[in-house]
Amino acid sequence: METRERPWTAREYAEWRGISTESAAQERYKGTGPRFIRATGRVMYDPADVYSWLDSNKRDRTDRIAS
């Protein structure tokens, strides 16, 4: 059975990234951040989605996405 890391709160995600919770909210609004979960009125992030989003933003040059 696979063990999954528990979802992060919006505050935990922001602290991990080193950004404000307001910046995390702007990412959600603009669709520029990782996928998120809205359940019972709370915003949460699946760490696997955060790591996947980070991997998709890797670059080997400033003018193109890494292949």
pLDDT digits (tens, 9 = 90+) for 10-65: 999 999 999 999 999 999 999 999 999 998 899 999 999 999 999 998 887 777 65
The verdict on residue 65 lying in a domain is: no
Domain extent, residue 24, equals 8-57
The verdict on residue 34 lying in a domain is: yes
pLDDT at 62: 78
pLDDT at 63: 78
The verdict on residue 52 lying in a domain is: yes
Which residue in 41, 40, 36 sits closest to 8, CA to CA?
Answer: 36
The verdict on residue 18 lying in a domain is: yes
Pull the structure tokens for residue 48.
């696997």
The verdict on residue 66 lying in a domain is: no
pLDDT at 25: 97
The verdict on residue 38 lying in a domain is: yes
The verdict on residue 53 lying in a domain is: yes
pLDDT at 2: 74
Q: How many domains would you assign to the chain?
A: 1
